[in-house]
Amino acid sequence: MFTIEQINDIHDRLGNVETLVDYLRALHAIGVETYDSYLTDGHSEYFGKQGHTVTSPPAHEKLSVAETSNRENFLNQMKLSEQGKSTYIEMSKGLADSGIEKWTFDTNQMTITYYDKAGSEMLVETIT
């Protein structure tokens, strides 16, 4: 069973855009199957086999997530992030303002899915 210390170590070594594939593979290797990261405060919930879960502490101050999602604004925020024109917290604020509540990484499928407050999938990306 994985621990938050193992996850933090992997994140410290590989938690950036350039090494995202390696990051997800390393999480998978320790048993993380999926994890949800919440825009409200940046905490994440990691899920493994047999119901094993680990929750990280908040990563930033509380953000308010818009009640109604705005797909166009969301996609613009994603573009800025992909171009390196926003920091993690700027991206988080922009996504929250766009109504994004969380994203989910799936280490089996190698995908990231963004969800709004209603639980609707706003975007699914394959990580390659």
Per-residue HEC secondary structure of 46-77 comes to EECHHHCEEECCCCCCCCCCCCCCCHHHHHHH
pLDDT at 82: 85
pLDDT at 84: 85
Q: How far apart are CA 23 and CA 63, in angstroms?
A: 26
Report the chain's mean pLDDT, rounded to a whole number.
95
Q: How far apart are CA 33 and CA 108, in angstroms?
A: 6
Residue 44 structural domain: 4-126
Q: How far apart are CA 32 and CA 80, in angstroms?
A: 29
The count of domains in the chain is 1
| φ, ψ (nearest 5 deg) of residue 103 | -125, 155
Structure tokens, 111: 């995908």
Task: Walk along the chain (128 residues) and give the pLDDT tens digit of each residue.
Answer: 999 999 999 999 998 878 999 999 999 999 999 999 999 999 999 999 999 999 999 999 999 999 999 999 999 999 998 888 988 899 999 999 999 999 999 999 999 999 999 999 999 999 98
16-39 pLDDT, tens digit each = 878 999 999 999 999 999 999 999
Predicted TM-score (pTM) of this structure:
0.93
CATH code of the domain in which 43 resides: 3.30.1810.10
pLDDT at 25: 97
pLDDT at 109: 97
Say if CB 113 and CB 104 are below 8 A apart: yes
Q: How far apart are CA 2 and CA 5, in angstroms?
A: 8
Structure tokens, 57: 């502490």
pLDDT at 17: 79
